[in-house]
Chain A
Amino acid sequence: MNDKRTTSPRRRRVLSGLGAASLATVLLPRARAAVAPLPVEPWSQQPGEPGLWHPYGLPSDFEKDVVRRISRPPAMPGATSTLTPLGDLFGAITPNGLVYERHHGGVPLIDPAQHRFVIHGLVKQAREFTLDDLMRFPSVSRVHFLECSGNTASEWKGPSGLPVQMTHGLLSCCEWTGVPLSTVLDEVGVAPEAKWFLAEGSDAAAMTRSIPLAKGLDDALLVYAQNGEHLRPENGYPLRLLLPGFEGNTNIKWLRRIKLAAEPFMTREETSKYTDLQADGLARQFVFEMDAKSVITRPSAGQHLGGPGFYPVSGLAWSGRGCITRVEVSMDGGKTWRDATLQGPVQSKAATRFEAGWHWDGAPADLQSRATDETGYVQPTRDALVAARGLNSYYHYNGIQNWQVAANGEIRNA
Chain B
Amino acid sequence: MTGVTIAHAASPYDLGKPIDAARLSAWNIDVSPDGRGLPPGSGDVAHGRAVFAARCAMCHGAVGQGGVGDPLVGGAGTLASAKPVKTVGSYWPYATTLFDYIHRAMPYDHPESLSADEVYAVTAFVLNLNGIVPENARLDAHSLPKVRMPNRDGFVPDPRPARP
Q: Which residues does A use to contact B, with CB under 8 Å?
A: 75-76, 79, 104-105, 118, 120-130, 133-134, 136-137, 183, 186-189, 191, 193-194, 198, 200, 204-206, 208, 256-257, 259, 261, 263, 265-268, 271-272, 275, 277-289, 291, 321, 375, 377, 380, 384-385, 388-389, 391-392
Alpha-carbon distance A130/B19, docked complex (angstroms): 12
**Chain A CB within 8 A of B115 CB:** no
Give me the 6 closest cross-chain CB pairs, A-B, nearest first: A281-B80, A281-B79, A388-B164, A129-B16, A125-B8, A268-B101
Which residues of chain A are near B158, meaning CB under 8 Å? 284-288
**Chain A CB within 8 A of B42 CB:** no
In the complex, number of A-B residue pairs with CB atoms less than 8 Å apart: 178
The interface residues of chain A, by DSSP majority, are classed as loop
A283 and B155 in contact (CB under 8 A), knowing A75-B68, A206-B104, A268-B101?
Answer: yes
**Chain A CB within 8 A of B40 CB:** no
**Chain A CB within 8 A of B2 CB:** yes
Alpha-carbon distance A261/B24, docked complex (angstroms): 16
25 pairs, CB–CB < 8 Å, chain A vs chain B: A122-B3, A125-B11, A125-B18, A126-B20, A128-B19, A128-B23, A129-B15, A129-B16, A187-B15, A187-B16, A189-B9, A204-B105, A208-B100, A261-B32, A267-B30, A272-B88, A272-B92, A275-B155, A277-B79, A283-B156, A285-B156, A286-B158, A385-B164, A389-B164, A392-B82
The contact size tier of chain B is 35 or more
Closest residue of B by beta carbon distance from A263: B32
Are B27 and A268 touching (Cβ within 8 A)? no
Alpha-carbon distance A3/B5, docked complex (angstroms): 93
Closest residue of A by beta carbon distance from B88: A272
The interface residues of chain B, by DSSP majority, are classed as loop
Are B160 and A291 touching (Cβ within 8 A)? yes
Closest residue of A by beta carbon distance from B102: A268
Are A127 and B17 touching (Cβ within 8 A)? yes
Could you tell me which residues of chain B, from 71 to 125, have a CB within 8 Å of some CB in chain A?
A: 79-80, 82, 84, 86, 88, 91-94, 96-97, 100-101, 104-105, 108, 111-112
Are B12 and A105 touching (Cβ within 8 A)? no
Which residues of chain B are near A122, meaning CB under 8 Å? 2-3
Alpha-carbon distance A105/B107, docked complex (angstroms): 11
Closest Cβ of chain B to A285, distance in Å, is 4
Are A124 and B8 touching (Cβ within 8 A)? yes
Closest Cβ of chain B to A106, distance in Å, is 10
Alpha-carbon distance A384/B12, docked complex (angstroms): 50
A256 and B30 in contact (CB under 8 A), knowing A189-B8, A377-B161?
Answer: no
A281 and B154 in contact (CB under 8 A), knowing A125-B18, A128-B16?
Answer: yes
Closest Cβ of chain B to A271, distance in Å, is 6
